[in-house]
Amino acid sequence: MRPPPPMLQFGDRDPALDYLQRPTAFGLVFHDSRLACVRVDRGDASYYDLPGGAIDGDETEEQALVREFVEETGMAVRPFVRLAEAAQYFRKSDGAPVNNIAGFWIAEQLSLDPKAKVEADHELVWLHPHTALNELRHDAHAWAVAVWLRRHG
């Protein structure tokens, strides 16, 4: 039996830091040829991410993705295909070093209720996938979009 292939790793690891290995799930939802992204308001340091985030407790990737989409966008989604897996070293807004171990999912939008959103600094934006490639903060997120484009674009 062959070992699984090594996971694709993005970001630069600072050897002086101890990175928390953080299981995460992120989603790709398309509507009218646009990709759902979140613009995270940090003033001049604002950025774009795919909706998603950390897996809490014994959640599955799918459960975490459903919860994170509602918290960040107010959108109810149904994940249906796990597209890819990759990791990303980075420093969170509070400076904490983490390595997101991410499953990337294709999901469909079921409904949208902006009042259900709880993260006030997150705004749902719809970007053309090619624009998202340039705007997404994490290389792992852009890579997942590129994987989708290669298969469907």
Into how many domains does the chain fold?
A: 1
User: What average pLDDT does the segment 42-57 reach?
Assistant: 96
Range of the domain at 138: 20-152
Structure confidence at residue 102 (pLDDT): 97
Reported confidence tier of residue 4, pLDDT bands at 50, 70, 90: low
15 falls within a domain = no
49 falls within a domain = yes
4 falls within a domain = no
77 falls within a domain = yes
For the stretch 106-127, pLDDT in tens is 999 999 999 999 999 999 999 9
CATH code, domain carrying 43 = 3.90.79.10
10 falls within a domain = no
Nearest alpha-carbon partner for 124 in 44, 70, 84: 70
112 falls within a domain = yes
144 falls within a domain = yes
For the stretch 8-33, pLDDT in tens is 999 999 999 999 999 999 999 999 99
Structure confidence at residue 152 (pLDDT): 84
CA distances in angstroms from 132 to 15, 57, 67, 98, listed in the order given? 30, 30, 22, 23
Query: How far apart are alpha carbons 129 and 98 in whole angstroms?
Result: 26
Q: Does the pLDDT of residue 80 top 80, yes or no?
A: yes
- Is 9 in contact with 86 (CB distance < 8 Å)? yes
57 falls within a domain = yes
